[in-house]
Structure 1
């Protein structure tokens, strides 16, 4: 176990990228963002010309405005891992491209908005986008590098493709790693309130303040009502095939990812931690259910954690997943030893060693913390090596946070 009283035992971090707005990143990405589905093809063609380089694609397909999507895009385009931004607009969509441009400009990042209609079509827009990226790639190489401390770090956690081993190995190991990260001074975020129904009283108990505890409980009650209205819980056929019998069994195993630290605050996508510690993210929309399943895939959950500042994300899985993410590295933790050996090229950590009596929970937790340190210092995750930079953003609606939610 990491001895936090022994400085020699505490893993150090490498150099980060200091942004003009004060953000501290672990990657130096050029972000290409399309603002409507009609601009996706042009954006993809631009990114494809920079394969194997840190040029990532994100975007919002909807033509009609959505406050949640606008919040997400602003948060992602100004993320600490992002050095420069290229925005692609068709020119007649309702998304507020000018407002997004101004938000990025305020952070002093290099940014350009290309309107495909105004530029003259596909070929001219691709050429203009390519020229901009070539220019800013050299510019952001001179970004100041500074030593990072653990208090500079925000780490998120998700689970996907869970099976009967997830709640025994990978999830509790990730939770124990979260406890260690909090002790080191980092901020950590867990989410998926739809898989915490029935655990609201324990969440309330862990809150550092009574008013926060009330908000945490209300968040789970909202999730239960939302899923009931949708007629579908967060339980997939693959979960059952992997040996999970009920949503309750899956939920208890998923909840282990949060560890045992006190909960200092509640976030909604795009909200940032205000002090170090453990946070719950509310991913279920507010108001009357209108936009379908809260998070239609694991990638959308990862992207919401990144929008709230996570420079890297832990992803626990039992059946396996190949997904990574744009902007921030994703560290894959496999729960099932058989599946680890089958999908080893996609996995960073084999938590299944616990089932084989080759490692303890504490051993794997220390391995996770060490892997985070290596990734922060520049080592590429398996997802990064394989070019997995997925992204997903749909319509949602959230009310602003109240003061009782904030640390």
Structure 2
């Protein structure tokens, strides 16, 4: 890959990290506050004001940790919390956590603010105040090795594993070589690849943990009675679970795997990391992630500044907080959905470009979006966000071995 000639500028945060965006987040703390929060964001009508939230009323440590992580993500500059007033989420604790991170934050409680209309009006005013504060934020130089990039595949078909996914892998290798942090996940879609990944692990202990991580995903799926192979995958030409797994695996490139993390764990240094998205303990939460955006949210909680989303059949989703770059594997899909696709990896199949050339194009897109250009889903206003119940145990030291 060619060396970067772009100058990245980041928004400095008190914890030393830097953001490539400076968004205001409006976060509902229970589904009962969702409508009011959505109306606040709609009335403000600004691409840099994002709606997120947690629908549940019953407490869940995972959800609480995720909300703390995403509300203090480097791309977030200010936060408005919207509470009904009787949900279990620790709203004051979350508010203090955000303020302690150096960010401006406000809280509205619907039961104390006069109801729907008055809370919406107060919320619009609060967001405008936050925007005014953020407008005074000065940027600072940001190096490529401060960037965290994730990848996910959705709507995969028979072309995904031979064009878009391996092209993302080439981009990942280039980013890792320059000190950036890259993250891949979907452990349920990596069944059968655990031994290959173990061979790439930085230490034998990490390799064993990777094997156990995939075995956990296999047990989870078997217990719940489902797998990662969906009807749409078959309709798109994928024939076996192994074929899908190898295609998903190719997004990781060929670099050494430096660590195994769980949602909310921020990698301590540059390198390639595997994100374990399957809950720990006995299976009890249904699908590990009910949609691709649930996994994007988990990567955001791990600090991802942006996400590379590969698709063969087509997907139009984006994400709140962190931009999504769409890489389309299938040239026919790209032709139909060109307005939603940032990169046409289908050129590999038509002979118009090589794998290395598309990998370079993706790499340049990463730099462009990190430098401030908007991805297509971002410009279209996509701000999907899903957060549900899960349970995870803390990672151990073998998950993050010290690299030599």
TM-score range, shorter chain: over 0.9
The answer as to 2:397 corresponding to 1:403 is yes
Q: Tell whether the 8 Å contact from 1:11 to 1:370 is kept in structure 2 after alignment.
A: no
Aligned mates of 1:207, 1:186 — CA distance in 2: 18
Give the alignment partner of residue 374 of structure 2, picking from 370, 377, 380: 380
Matched, 1:12 2:6: yes
Residue matched to 1:148: 142
The answer for the alignment partner of 2:304 in structure 1 is: 310
Spell out, residue by residue over 1:165-187, the C-alpha distance to the aligned partner (whole angstroms, 9 max, x if none). 00000000001100000011100
Where in structure 1 do 4 or more consecutive aligned residues deviate above 4 Å?
none
Query: Which residue is 1:347 aligned to?
Result: 341
- State the distance in 1 between where 2:178 and 2:138 align: 25
8 Å Cα contact 2:27/2:81 also seen in 1? yes
What are the superposed Cα offsets for residues 121-180 of structure 1, whole Å, 9 maximum, x if unpaired? 111211111111111101111112011111110000000000000000000000110000
Deviation, 1:21, is: 2.8
Aligned equivalent of 1:102, options 78, 96, 105: 96
Q: CA deviation at 1:263?
A: 0.5
Using the alignment, how far apart are the partners of 1:101 and 1:402 within structure 2? 29
Once superposed, what is the RMSD of the aligned Cα atoms?
0.9
Q: Contact between 1:163 and 1:240, CA under 8 Å: does it hold in 2?
A: yes
Deviations 1:36-83 (A, max 9, x none): 000001100100012133100000000001111111100000000000
Equivalences for 1:258-273 in 2 at 5 Å? Answer: 258-273=252-267
- What are the within-5 Å matches in structure 2 for residues 6-405 of structure 1? 9-405=3-399
Does the 8 Å contact 1:11/1:373 carry over to 2? no
How many equivalent residue pairs?
Answer: 401
Separation in structure 2 between the aligned mates of residue 13 and residue 156 of structure 1, nearest angstrom: 21
Q: Secondary structure at the match of 2:377?
A: helix
| Cα distance in structure 2, aligned partners of 1:52 and 1:357 | 41
The TM-score, its normalising length taken from structure 2, stands at 0.98
Asked if 2 retains the 8 angstrom alpha-carbon contact of 1:80 and 1:309, the reply is yes
Query: Which secondary structure does the structure 2 equivalent of 1:201 belong to?
Result: helix
* Mapped contact 2:47–2:379 kept (Cα < 8 A): no
Q: The residue matched to 1:30 in structure 2 has which SS?
A: strand
- Further displaced range: 114-123 or 361-370: 114-123
Q: 1 CA distance for matches of 2:193 and 2:367?
A: 32
Unpaired segments of 5 or more residues in structure 1? 3-8
- CA offsets 1:235-260 (integer angstroms, 9 cap, x no match): 11110000001111111111000001
Bigger Cα displacement from structure 2, 262-271 vs 45-54:
45-54
Displacement of 1:12: 3.0
* TM-score for the superposition, normalised by structure 1: 0.97
